[in-house]
């Protein structure tokens, strides 16, 4: 029995990617993050690539998936670099990969280049899940819709709202827009500013199938 079984909102635990992406995060904090995810039954532990091998070792044999962000938080790296980083994290135990699409190219209307960028990372991920971060705070609604379609066409498994590093964050309106655009068969991850039980439930009601959060324990315990 996990700690989450005793939490008043234990049903939310399987939605949550327990996340720590601060640049000053220390190994001891990463170990604590993993222990919390195991205790509460969260879906994944999401970290920067430096910490991924530690996370993969700690979670080995459990149902909690190691997840790494790549070329984070800007996504402004050449596709070859993104693909190489994706290959590295998968080789070192990542079962899920979160990438940032090239926001500037999207805003410039270079849609084929954005699609190719996502497709290149998709290929490098092998069997690992790929989530594409749109950085919704920087996009118009039309750009959000275009980004969702491009991610879907490129074979991504999820679209995700935000890095949490560009201002703004997940909104119910953006989750609903993303869900409408991609339909029922692709994942939607709400990330950035999801801090309470009410926040999480609102995102799920709007169409989110995953929540990225650093306030995960507060969410499941109703704080």
Output 104-112 pairs: Cβ under 8 A, ≥24 positions apart: 104/76, 106/139, 106/143, 106/146, 106/147, 106/150, 107/138, 107/139, 107/143, 111/146, 111/150
| 82 classed as catalytic | no
Which candidate in 98, 157, 174, 199 is catalytic? Answer: 98
Residues whose CB is less than 8 angstroms from the CB of residue 12 and which lie 6 or more positions away in sequence, other chains included = 197, 200, 201, 204, 211, 219, 220
| 98 classed as catalytic | yes
Which candidate in 43, 82, 131, 160 is catalytic? Answer: 160
| 131 classed as catalytic | no
Which candidate in 43, 82, 144, 189 is catalytic? Answer: 189
For residue 130, the surrounding DSSP H or E stretch is: strand 129-133
188 three-state secondary structure: strand
Radius of gyration of the chain (CA): 16
- Cα-based angle 42, 84, 74 (whole degrees, multiple of 5): 65
Q: How many whole angstroms separate alpha carbon 80 and alpha carbon 116?
A: 11
As annotated, the active-site residues are 98, 160, 189
């Amino acid at each position: 029995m996990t700690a989450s079984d005793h939490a008043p909102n234990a049903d939310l635990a399987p939605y949550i990617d327990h996340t720590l992406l601060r640049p000053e995060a220390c190994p001891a904090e990463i170990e604590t993050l993993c222990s919390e995810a195991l205790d509460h039954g969260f879906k994944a532990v999401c970290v920067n690539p430096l910490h991924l091998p530690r996370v993969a070792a700690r979670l080995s044999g459990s149902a909690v998936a190691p997840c790494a962000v790549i070329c984070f938080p800007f996504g402004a790296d050449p596709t070859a670099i993104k693909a190489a980083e994706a290959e590295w994290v998968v080789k070192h135990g990542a079962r899920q990969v979160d990438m940032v699409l090239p926001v500037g190219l999207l805003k410039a209307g270079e849609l084929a280049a954005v699609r190719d960028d996502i497709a290149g990372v998709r290929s490098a991920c092998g069997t690992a899940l790929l989530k594409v971060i749109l950085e919704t705070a920087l996009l118009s609604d039309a750009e959000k819709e275009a980004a969702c379609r491009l991610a879907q066409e490129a074979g991504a498994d999820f679209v995700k709202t935000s890095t949490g590093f560009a201002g703004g964050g997940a909104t119910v309106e953006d989750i609903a827009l993303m869900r409408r655009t991609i339909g029922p068969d692709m994942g939607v991850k709400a990330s950035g500013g999801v801090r309470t039980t009410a926040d999480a439930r609102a995102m799920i009601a709007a169409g989110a199938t995953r929540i990225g959060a650093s306030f995960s324990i507060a969410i499941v315990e109703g704080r």
